[in-house]
A = this chain, B = another copy of it.
Amino acid sequence: MSFSSSLLEQAVNEFSKLPGIGKKTALRLVLHLIKQPQEETQLFADTIARMRREIKFCSKCCNVSDTEICNICSNFSRKKQIICVVENIRDVIAIESTQQFNGLYHVLGGVISPLDGVGPDQLTIEPLINRLTEDEVEELIFALSPNIQGDTTLFYISKKIKDLPVKITTIARGIAFGGELEYADELTLARSLQNRQPVANYVSMK
């Protein structure tokens, strides 16, 4: 692309550093900002810069937070005895949106994946084990991605804490609501048969 303005070019370059944003999309976004009032664009830039400067990671669960301890960990109405272990911040937001979970979280920051150079030391496994011993945690719910890396991480952590009096569970795998049985992959269908549920449970959930 050939720009008549280096200010424009720099702004397009900055936008196109973002994941999934190519040069053409970046140009579209920048031209949109040019059309907006100057205060709007200033607010956009200030909000982003301030967010990056001031955002913290909760010292307990490693979730993003405005304060030293996040508002989930510091909420007294939530059950501190149940911790849901997730890969990243996005998973916390997804589970919170269901409004079905009233315990706390622990954000691992990824899953064990030797091919990507991610070992247990890069994850927040040590702080998690400290939480288990310090607080009186009764149940650890693993909500990791259903793949090799997720399973490896699950087995690694469960092995490390097998002597602690903590119940370890994982979220149910099965046929998704609205999913057609014939299109489900064999592994999901097989697991969903193995982990079949009494109909009484199913009805009581409704």
Interface presence of A20 (CB below 8 A): yes
- Taken residue by residue from 19 to 31, chain A's Cβ proximity to chain B (1 for < 8 Å, 0 otherwise) reads as 1110001011111
Tallying the copies of this chain within the complex gives 2
Among B32, B38, B50, the residue within 8 A (CB) of A7 is B50
Interface presence of A8 (CB below 8 A): yes
Interface presence of A141 (CB below 8 A): no
* Interface size classification for chain A: 35 or more
A55 to nearest B CB, angstroms?
5
B47–A11 touching, CB < 8 Å? yes
CA distance A52 to B10 in the complex (A): 12
The residues of A with any CB-CB pair to B shorter than 8 Å are 1-8, 10-11, 14-15, 17-21, 25, 27-34, 36, 38, 41-55, 58, 63-66, 70-72, 88-90, 92-93, 96-97, 99
